[in-house]
Amino acid sequence: MAQVLAMVLAGGRVGELGVLTFFRPKSVLPYGGLYRVIDFPMSNLMHSDIENVGILSQYRPFELINHTANGEPWDMTGRQRCAVILPPFQGRGASDWYKGTADAVAQNIDFIRLHSPEIVVVISGDHIYRMDYRDIILFHLEKNADLTVAFTKVPPEGSSRFGLGSIEDEEPRGGRLTVYREKPKSSRLEWASLTIYVFRTQLLIRALMENEPASSHEFGKDIIPIFMENHRVYGYKHSGYWGYTRTIEEYYRTSMDLLGANPRVDIRSWQIRTNMSDRSIRDRPPAFIGPSATTEDVLFHCGCNVNGRVARSILFPGVTIEEGAVVEDSILFFDATVRSGSVVRRTIADTGCTIGRRSDIGGGPDGLTVIGMETAVPEETRIHGGVTVHPKLREDIFARQEYLPGEVVQ
């Protein structure tokens, strides 16, 4: 196999994820009762035998640095292996912050040259999917392509927030990319880009340098068009599960795909690795399910202590559900606590938050309720569906006993 270097775009903060990304980049958003979103591309890279990875990050990188731990969780440490975080830097000729995805890679051309790979794979770190990148690399090499972009089929709609393309009908795996439009306002194109790019290294470096003086620095908007003009660009058709985590609703839906009798995401067969030494996971005892608990269609991990009723929900390590509490259709992050007599429905409760006794959170037709990290909701509080509660709020911040749909508590 060709020498491959992967660049993972992991830095962004997405406004639509609101309070969930106040203190962390979206790539370390907890997912699936144990994992972080970036574990999916990292595990895919590991299973694809790609062992040299640069992770581009600039938004609140502490949790990400901690989590990726030099690539150790994915066996990427060793004399021929590495996974390193590449933060933005100041230097002679280098500006400070990454101005976009392409600029992030452009500022690390030295890192690419150091590894002198034949192929650079650029992937975004915020999707839930399983893919053997060797298949698309093999396709790329067989087609003698300069750039291969992975696509998935979407129903054609008026406008799109994805890059859309048209792929020539060469073979089942894909073909020449004939049209590419970045987030078009109106389009009948039905192949959406998965932001997985396989580049011939020298041409990538040339295109990045060519684009540097421009005002925009995005792969979809700027780099792919450069390639479309002058080079051989192929589209690779991916047909497996593809989960978005870009908005609260998408994140929730992608999470709920883990549940049910025949889950769309069969996490048990995906062989995902995460950082088990992370302090949010390590040294916890196995879960304890108490004498008065009922659990129905639930995922949970070590350190959980369940004494109430839980249905159709995902509990991260260390969650406590006291006797008489009810949790339904919800996602509770690390060490969240639901006190006795509370009811929590259609809610995402971030790490370390506490729901006081006899409170009633979420539910109803008005959308999801999101409660930020380490917030303590006082007892007997009614928080309707569609309410957003900011992180790190103490009980005395809650002046009222009821918060209506659409309100933001801060």
Partner 1 sequence: MRNPAAILLAGGVGSRLNILVRQRAKPAVPFGGIYRIIDFTLSNIANSGITDVAVLTQYKPLSLMDHIGNGESWDLSGRTRRVKIFPPKTGEKDWDWYHGTADAVRQNISFVTSAKSDEIMILSGDHVYHMDYRLMVDFHRAKKARVTIATITVPWEETHQFGTAVTNNENRIVEWEEKSPRARSNLASMGIYVFDRDYLVALLTESKEADFGHHIIPMALGEGVVYAYPFNGYWRDVGTVQAYWDANMDLFDPASGIHPGSWRTMTNINAAGPAFDRPPVCVSSTGHVQRSIVSPGCTIRGTVVNCVLSPGVTIEQGARVSDSIIMHDCRIEKGAQVERSILDKEVAVGAGTTVGRGDPKTVNAAHPEHLYSGLTVIGKRTDIPPGITVGTNCIIYPLIPAEDFSGTNIGDGETVTGGYETT
Q: Residue 69 CB, nearest distance to partner 1 (Å)? A: 13
Measured distance CA(251)–CA(21) in Å, rounded: 12
Kindly tell me which of 50 and 208 has the beta carbon lying closer to partner 1: 50
Kindly tell me which of 5 and 265 has the beta carbon lying closer to partner 1: 265
Q: Residue 134 CB, nearest distance to partner 1 (Å)? A: 18
Q: Residue 287 CB, nearest distance to partner 1 (Å)? A: 5
Positions that interact with partner 1 (CB under 8 A): 32-34, 43, 261, 267-268, 271-274, 276, 282-291, 293-303, 314-315
Q: Are the beta carbons of 4 and 122 closer than 8 angstroms?
A: no
Beta-strand relationship, 191-200 and 119-124: antiparallel
Measured distance CA(301)–CA(281) in Å, rounded: 9
Kindly tell me which of 261 and 399 has the beta carbon lying closer to partner 1: 261
Kindly tell me which of 33 and 367 has the beta carbon lying closer to partner 1: 33
Side chain identity, residue 153? K
Q: Residue 2 CB, nearest distance to partner 1 (Å)? A: 25
Q: Residue 51 CB, nearest distance to partner 1 (Å)? A: 15
Which is nearest to 336 in space by CA: 306, 294, 368, 296?
A: 306
DSSP symbol at 40: H
Beta-strand relationship, 4-9 and 52-56: parallel
Measured distance CA(375)–CA(388) in Å, rounded: 12
Kindly tell me which of 147 and 319 has the beta carbon lying closer to partner 1: 319
Kindly tell me which of 33 and 386 has the beta carbon lying closer to partner 1: 33
Alpha helices in 48-163 (DSSP H): 62-68, 101-106, 109-115, 133-142
Q: How far is CA 318 from CA 35, 127, 222, in A?
A: 14, 25, 44
- Radius of gyration (Cα) for the chain, nearest Å? 22
Kindly tell me which of 231 and 312 has the beta carbon lying closer to partner 1: 312
Q: Residue 307 CB, nearest distance to partner 1 (Å)? A: 10
Please report, in angstroms and rounded to a whole number, the separation of the first and last CA atoms in the chain. 53
Q: Residue 296 CB, nearest distance to partner 1 (Å)? A: 5
Kindly tell me which of 313 and 347 has the beta carbon lying closer to partner 1: 313
Helix (H, G, I), strand (E, B) or coil at 290: coil
Q: Residue 280 CB, nearest distance to partner 1 (Å)? A: 13
Q: Are the beta carbons of 237 and 167 closer than 8 angstroms?
A: yes
Q: Residue 44 CB, nearest distance to partner 1 (Å)? A: 12
Measured distance CA(213)–CA(97) in Å, rounded: 15
Beta-strand relationship, 174-182 and 233-237: antiparallel
Cβ burial 343-363 (10 Å sphere, 16+ → b, else e): bbbbbbbbbbbbbbbbbbbbb
Kindly tell me which of 265 and 389 has the beta carbon lying closer to partner 1: 265
